[in-house]
A and B are shown apart, each in its own frame.
Chain A
Amino acid sequence: GDSVTQTEGPVTLSEGTSLTVNCSYETKQYPTLFWYVQYPGEGPQLLFKVPKANEKGSNRGFEATYNKEATSFHLQKASVQESDSAVYYCALGTGYNTNTGKLTFGDGTVLTVKP
Chain B
Amino acid sequence: GPKVLQIPSHQIIDMGQMVTLNCDPVSNHLYFYWYKQILGQQMEFLVNFYNGKVMEKSKLFKDQFSVERPDGSYFTLKIQPTALEDSAVYFCASSLYWGGAGTGQLYFGEGSKLTVL
By the criterion CB–CB under 8 Å, are B45 and A102 in contact? Answer: yes
Across the interface, B106 reaches (CB within 8 A) one of A97, A101, A106, A108, namely A101
By the criterion CB–CB under 8 Å, are B99 and A96 in contact? Answer: no
| Band of interface residues on B | 20 to 34
**Size of chain A's interface in residues, with CB distance under 8 A?**
28
The answer to the question of B31 belonging to the interface, with a C-beta cut-off of 8 Å to chain A, is yes
Q: A1-54: which have CB < 8 Å to B?
A: 4, 30, 32, 36, 41-46, 49, 51
Residues on A with C-beta less than 8 A from B14 are: none
Determine the residue in chain A with the shortest Cβ distance to B6.
Answer: A43
By the criterion CB–CB under 8 Å, are A97 and B109 in contact? Answer: no
Measured between alpha carbons, how far is A105 from B46 in the docked complex, in Å?
12
Q: B57-103: which have CB < 8 Å to A?
A: 58, 91, 93, 95, 98-102
The answer to the question of A94 belonging to the interface, with a C-beta cut-off of 8 Å to chain B, is yes
Q: Give the A-binding residues of B (Cβ under 8 A).
A: 1, 4, 6, 31, 33, 35, 41-45, 48, 55-56, 58, 91, 93, 95, 98-102, 104-111
Can you name 16 A-B residue pairings with CB atoms under 8 Å? Answer: A32-B102, A43-B107, A43-B110, A43-B111, A44-B91, A45-B108, A46-B105, A89-B43, A94-B101, A96-B101, A97-B102, A99-B102, A101-B104, A102-B45, A105-B35, A107-B42
